[in-house]
Chains A and B, each alone.
Chain A
Amino acid sequence: MTLRFDIPEENLASILAKAFGNRSFLAGFIITALVAAVAIVSFFWTPYDVTRLIIADKTQSPSPAHWFGTDHFGRDILSMIMVGARNSIAVALVAVGIGMGVGVPLGAFAAARGGLVDEALMRLNDLVFAFPALLSAIMITAIFGPGAVNAIIAIGIFNIPVFARVARAGALAIWPREFILAARAAGKSRTLITLEHVLPNIVTLLLVQGTIQFALGILAEAGLSYVGLGTQPPMPSWGRMLFDAQTRMVVAPWMALFPGMAIVVTVLGLNLLGDGIADILDPKSRRQR
């Protein structure tokens, strides 16, 4: 769990060279870029219109006309997966944004101040961690109503302590360094030091955690939509597609197969990307011990 890091002293070109020499990063980058591209393309073009129901074409098995088959309303599964990608990415991305936006300042603040402030913030973290994320997301959406926005908020809240913890741990490792001492001797305030010296040095840590939380966010959104509390129909979402598939497993197993594979591929890509970034920037694994 303890992420170690070092300040990258190389220039951008050498980092990039190393990045694309890393198998995990390369695979993760390609998959993630592909998923993102599919999501972007879905804004302009999908093989079929996902809002049109053609009952005559319902539950058709995969064919050249419908690569991934059709669902119980005759909608093209491939087109729905494309639009669903857009939705999954948006929810997970905003949830990561919430987590970072609130969590990182909290964690950095706790590390800069130490003492009681630190202790209090960490206890608050314990509190949020005591609520299993999915359970609380269910509670939040149950109370405030289902929907993509509430799903984002629910997932985002549980990203906050994760980023607070990572930012604090990272910042605590930076504070005893000599260049911080120099900055303090120069009379800079704790806030300024945090902004100018601490945060730039923990960016990579946050990036790694960001990809992990992004992947978890996609899983969480799918879970919430699957139980009917996330994205609402008619907006296609991967989780909702799996819900629709469940009662039709015998007649149309492809309805369950392809949306699930879309989730697996996306999450796998993000995790590989995160692992790759950690590998490249972690001096311990760089030494190949």
Chain B
Amino acid sequence: MDSAEPILSLKGIGKSFYGNRVLADVSFDVGAGEIIGLVGENGAGKSTLMKILFGMPVISETGGFEGSIYFNGKEARFKTPFDALDAGIGMVHQEFSLIPGFTTTENILLNRESLNSSVLVDVFGPRISTLDRATMESRAKSAIAKLGVTLDPNMLIKEMPVGHKQFTEIARELCRENVKLIVLDEPTAVLTESEAEVLLSTLRLLASEGIAIIFISHRLREVVELCDRVVVLRDGHKIEDFPAKGSSTKQIASLMVGRSMEAQAKIDAASAARSTQSDSDARETILSVENLWVDMPGETVRNVNLSVKKGEIFGIGGLAGQGKLGIPNGIMGLSPAGGSVVLNGTPVELNAPRAALERNMAFVSEDRRGVGLLLDEGIDWNIAFTAMQVQNQFLKPILGGLFLWRSDAAMSNLAEEYIKLLEIKCTGPGQRAGNLSGGNQQKVCLAKAFALRPDVLFVSEPTRGIDIGAKHLVLDTLKKYNSEYGTTIVMVSSELEELRSVCDRIAIVYEGRIEGILPHTAPIEDFGILMAGADRDETTVALVGGN
């Protein structure tokens, strides 16, 4: 299906956000009728690349990009997504961008409706023309027909099953006259296995009509099955570009997560240094989780069983949306949960944050600004509040203990102590947490958890959105805290490298279940396979197909 002239050709694309490089020298071509699978871990640069292609305003606002894009033989530098659409690039988003109260037809033809002309239009301009419903419906029908599926053109979006919504999105892109390239971002993530099958065959049909497709997915099996070529991104670099035929999911997975030699050596050295203390089998179990389910939107946990040894740093990894974030949120009572969580031999009450805190567990949330901080209060309040409310610290009894008086001085001292210890850059303990930078906010969140002197500390995405220097400090602090106080730490992170450099054992979550638990010394390919859930594809089909 390759044509001589590529329809899209990316040459040396690079981009950095505020000095933080996310893409470097990425080049590849897409021919007409070709299906390219674009894969990479979270943060590998896939979405940034697509934002550049689409001329999203966020790119030009942050200083533009390097390199050049050739579309249809001409150099293209789209200023807005509208330019990209006009040029013939369609985009199907991960989140549905459909209007729930409109019908299929209305959504497909939004802003491109067929119009009736009348005298009034001649006088007052096209804004008052009426819709030509009959033509619209036939246009929508022809777009749907190209997909090879049946959709009711008059059905409201909100009444549709998820799969039909996805097809409506694609039909909308197809309905443009000159569409030559369609980008699909995780189109199958929300579909059942059978719906995904239909979608894949639809995509093949479109490709055979000469439309080029860029397919972004975490489901590697689909990528291998569907695509002509696979482009692997890792840390903003293009790692490989090879024909999908004959490759295996295992091979792609290892390319996705594999690290550069130095980084690998560093991790190995760090692992070796810690290997003496990782005789975790000998230690007693502090926390055991059985049949845990957590109803956390976007991070559903279905059935998790794991046990954490006293004093270890236990890592939980996995791709976004597989449920790794749901585990600490469920155990700490922040999201509705069920199952059994046993700490030190006694069960922990679920769905009750206070009960979890009183059992000496602490949680540093991934949602710093939403859950982790009182943005309008000072650093001292932020650090001391939980310890004050749960453990009655920083309180002076007055009138013989009838009332508990807040000791601002003690809170301030505590804040001073942590500001020094964690190198929090601020004007003083009274500075509002909302005015701190991301890294310093994260340090405040850690200090809040440390102030509780927990037995088990859950840390969720501790380095998300903070700069490299702060990252190192946060991770080092966690390690130090673990070795000095013997605190058991459960660390959830999307960054496998980070988990491997800090944790003793790492559990990988896939589709709400623990796919496997590996020691940090295990080869990186093994982690990649677990993350992609490759081993279980057959069972998954059975499970998902069943509902």
Do these two chains interact? Answer: no
Contact residues of A with B, CB < 8 Å?
Answer: none
